Amino acid sequence: MADDRRAEMATTFERIKRPLQWPMENFRRTKVSTARFVGYRFSRVRRNAVAGFAFGFALKDGAVPGVTEPPEAVAYAFVKPVDSELRGDLVARQGSAVRKLVSASRAMGFPFEFHPDEEIAAVRHRSLRHVPREIFVLVASDFFMLCYQPIRASTFLERVRKSTTRPGP
């Protein structure tokens, strides 16, 4: 099913590219295309640790925490490795960037799930399995734009930028 939605997925990325261009200029954009996930990761580095966020589509169950009805539109925040100092700064501490993202998203009505012990520390997803082809791009792009609002409002991007030294790998 996901394979026959590839054209709609590509159109969705084209549609959201311009509105999200400026906020992501301090992050390295990497296209990800695997059998399980297709999308973009925006990352920054500090020593051997990487942090950032991603927008994309989970194509298989379990590709991202919580995904059970692919294809699903997914937005997530990540920090790897799980045992890094950067993760402590961005995830583990009270008032950390990821914790603020999760609380801001709940307050705004677009809740991210918190996974404090996983590489993907916060995730929001929505199944598009039953969305008709003619509105797939609209539904998916609206989902990504709504997910971006708490990322911006929580100062997640600024906090990741200040906690890292350069755009990621």
107-116 residue pLDDT tens: 999 999 999 9
Task: Please state the domain count of the chain.
Answer: 1
11-48 residue pLDDT tens: 998 888 877 766 677 899 899 999 999 999 999 999 99
Exposed e or buried b for every residue in 51-60, given b needs 16+ CB within 10 A? Answer: bbbbbbbbbe
As a whole number of angstroms, the distance between CA 39 and CA 55 comes to 6
- Candidates 127, 122, 123; CA nearest to 139 is 127
**What local confidence, expressed as pLDDT, does residue 6 receive?**
87
As a whole number of angstroms, the distance between CA 107 and CA 1 comes to 34
- Decide which of 50 and 23 is more confident: 50
As a whole number of angstroms, the distance between CA 141 and CA 76 comes to 15
As a whole number of angstroms, the distance between CA 87 and CA 97 comes to 10
- Candidates 91, 72, 88; CA nearest to 129 is 72
The alpha carbon dihedral of 145, 91, 160, 40 has a sign of: negative
The pTM (predicted TM-score) of the whole model is 0.93
Residue 28 in tokens: 């390295």
Q: Which domain holds residue 121?
A: 3-167
85-141 residue pLDDT tens: 999 999 999 999 999 999 999 999 999 999 999 999 999 999 999 999 999 999 999
